[in-house]
Structure 1
């Protein structure tokens, strides 16, 4: 008889497949703000003193935090199912959930930017199609002004699409064999650090380091944490739950990422070994920031404050809209791009992005989610009614939707 290990944290229960973790919502908001800061720093040419400029530039590792959050939240149902603690949603419901979460606000942003933003108007049909289809990292010269940050969303959507197939590939590692899942994820992550060294003949103006394989470690960090929260307690759980130790680890990893070890400042291309180090340090930083929240008590005064939760709730909109807002700030206030005024431009961009993001959430994102929920509930009711009328007894599906998603 196989026994299921007791969970390592308060999230290691059948509800681990979809329980809401408030601190992670706040952390998502912090990641969104970090991306805004790093883009404002670049657009205002804030590079001095050098150490300060490097810190601001390396806040682009907030993308690693976004990817790790997605990895954790979306892998939880599969990690729990491998230990008999629930079942993931069906693949089609999962994909529909992801599409509903991402596409409505994204398509609206792309449409308005390409139609109205002066630096992006007149875009070619190829640019329109590449952006609407989220394949701009594969199509040369399609990252339009106000939309250049979407390369990371393209990578994340590729992860969303492939995740169910990864789950199928690991479906045999269940019960006692589930302990092999974390070493396997770590092995694949380590191997992917060599992606930048692979000689791929990509089209001109396209870098293969902007494709999903380059960022597997950032997603895998979250997946590993998802496995740990439903695993038997061990030293790694106690270490990960220790806020001081993880805080020091995050500070050291991020500090090293701000040095030339992780590549030059700005948008200058990094050598393959520097890119690999940046990815590794981004993964370590993300692990250290998230581990105490999911392996410990999960409490954090700032992240779970009303303001922290609100910013987290609007974080996707902040990410999607902030570059369009930033591009509008310069002409609106007659401030030249790359001409300094970092603090002023940052404050105005943050304020504008939060206002637009809150409207996007209230008018686009949340109504879209509710509409799809109503559709799915109606289908479930109709299916149950049909089963009763036919005299059959409906049984729970092995792919019951138990998670709300990220």
Structure 2
């Protein structure tokens, strides 16, 4: 979704018919894919914790949790971050200065999302902003779930209600951020580059806002764990209803990809995340839809999707700077050239992502498994799905 959003931005609406303009603007709404990723991630990572909570077991090993998350995300992220950083001042024309180095180091140390100045840790690869917010969500998830493990009355459905209360608290924090963290108007806006754009986004875009999206996925995991033993066609309807809600949220936000919702949180919050959450609740217990998740093409895309996400925009920017300067926002006036360039970017993104997974990510994931402690009754590990 996010790749389609970015390539659709590059064609000029002036060469399109009114119907084609509407279609292009609709595809740009696929920026909501970021929210879908956060919901899915929260769902997968929270599920082992809910299972342990319902059984009365201790929390799953946080050491295992940290090792698996680090092994899955950090090698490819750090490699991409460093390559883009070096290319930015050696080949792509960005002056090397203190702020550029600060942004890079903040990305390397996983704190880029703490301030608008470092929100984009490098030039020429804007999508990397979400990785910092994702990692902050990884850290906050076990901290918040720890509260449920420590409170004696938070079991079963009461624990799920407790999680709803945590989401409510996050919305309160987001409202405080909107009131007290608003930056000044100096050099604020996309016309001032990526840092100016980050300043424009802030504080609607901040780690608490994205953890609120992530937490909806964690809630979906809690509900699904309670329903996991059931199998019924009604769950197909639940999943389809979630799809309908997600599509409605896209339509309601049209034509603004940010689509600020409750507490100024982007991507149609909470309706789009709730739609994705319903899909995740319904699909595992469905009769028909769960079979789609077993198809080989879907499994392949799931494996390499992270790599596609972090590499595609760098390729787009290399094309823009070194070859086709019109490949900018609303810049392409030749639809055929735009289509061929965009197709080449997508194909190369999948190629690099496949190589990255086979040669870097998967070997490190296997190596990291050897660092994990053996599971014991007193120290349950995370399920493979959470890895």
Shared fold (TM-score, shorter chain, > 0.5)? yes
Hey, what does 2:256 align to over in structure 1?
265
Deviation at 1:68, TM superposition (A): 1.4
Q: In structure 2, do the counterparts of structure 1 residues 146 and 168 end up closer, same or farther at CA, with 3 Å as the change threshold?
A: same
Matches within 5 A, 1:200-215: 200-203=180-183, 205=199, 207-215=202-210
Q: How far apart, CA to CA, are the structure 1 residues paired with 2:284 and 2:360? A: 30
SS in structure 2 at match of 1:137? helix
Maintained 8 Å contact 2:42/2:216: yes
**Alignment: residue pair count:** 352
For each residue in 1:143-170, what CA deviation from the matched residue of structure 2 results, as whole angstroms up to 9, or x when unmatched? 2333321222111101111222112100
Distance 1:316 1:253, change over 3 A: closer
Deviation by residue 1:197-250 (Cα, 9 ceiling, x = unmatched): 431235552712222321344222322222223326899x9697124x532442
Distance 2:38 2:267 in 1: 17
Structure 1 match to 2:128:
150
Please say if residues 5 and 31 of structure 2, whose CA atoms lie closer than 8 Å, have aligned partners that are also in contact. yes
Partner of 1:242: 236
Once the two structures are overlaid, the 10-residue window that deviates more, 214-223 or 247-256, is 247-256
- Cα distance between partner residues in 1 of 2:317 and 2:343: 14
User: Which deviates more from structure 2 when the two are superposed, residues 92-101 or residues 216-225?
Assistant: 216-225
Change in Cα spacing, 1:272 to 1:251, as seen in structure 2 (3 Å) is closer
Give 3-state SS (helix, strand or coil) of 2:222's partner: helix
Distance 1:146 1:353 in 2: 15
Structure 1 SS opposite 2:9 = helix
CA gap of 1:197–1:318, structure 2 versus 1, over 3 A, is same
**Closer, same or farther: CA 190–114 of 1 in aligned 2, 3 Å:** same
Whether contact under 8 Å (1:225, 1:294) holds in the other structure is no
Please give the secondary structure, in 2, of the residue aligned with 1:171: helix
Structure 2: distance between partners of 1:223 and 1:305? 25
In the TM superposition, residue 42 of structure 1 has moved relative to its aligned partner by 2.3
- Spell out, residue by residue over 1:108-166, the C-alpha distance to the aligned partner (whole angstroms, 9 max, x if none): 00110011141556363212212212322334443233332122211110111122211
After superposing the two structures, state which structure 1 stretch, 123-132 or 80-89, moved more. Answer: 80-89
How does 1:7-406 map onto structure 2 within 5 Å? 34-45=1-12, 49=19, 50-84=21-55, 88-117=59-88, 118=92, 122=96, 124-142=100-118, 143=120, 144-172=122-150, 177-193=155-171, 196-198=174-176, 199-203=179-183, 205=199, 207-231=202-226, 241-243=235-237, 246-259=239-252, 262=253, 265=256, 275=265, 278-297=268-287, 299-300=289-290, 302-331=292-321, 334=324, 336=326, 337-338=328-329, 339-340=331-332, 341=335, 342-376=338-372, 396-404=376-384, 405-406=386-387
TM-score (norm 1): 0.75
String of CA shifts for 1:263-317, please: whole Å, max 9, x gaps: 86256x9587664781112212212332332232475555432222111101111
Query: Structure 1, residues 321-363: CA drift from partner, whole Å, max 9, x if none?
Result: 1111221233565361232345333312210110110111111
Where structure 1 has 5 or more consecutive residues not aligned to the other structure, the ranges are 1-33, 381-394
CA contact (8 A) 1:89 1:401 kept: yes
Mapped to 2, the partners of 1:328 and 1:111 lie a distance apart of 15
- What CA distance in whole angstroms lies between the structure 2 residues aligned with 1:238 and 1:190? 31
Give distance in 2, aligned partners of 1:333 and 1:306: 36
Aligned residues of 1:67 and 1:219 also touching (Cα < 8 A):
yes
Tell me: CA distance 1:239–1:141, structure 2 relative to 1, closer, same or farther (3 Å): farther
SS of 1:223's partner is helix
How far apart, CA to CA, are the structure 1 residues paired with 2:284 and 2:54?
18
Structure 2: distance between partners of 1:104 and 1:191 = 33
* Aligned mates of 1:191, 1:359 — CA distance in 2: 42
Partners of 2:93 and 2:295 lie apart in 1 by: 38
Distance 1:296 1:85, change over 3 A: farther
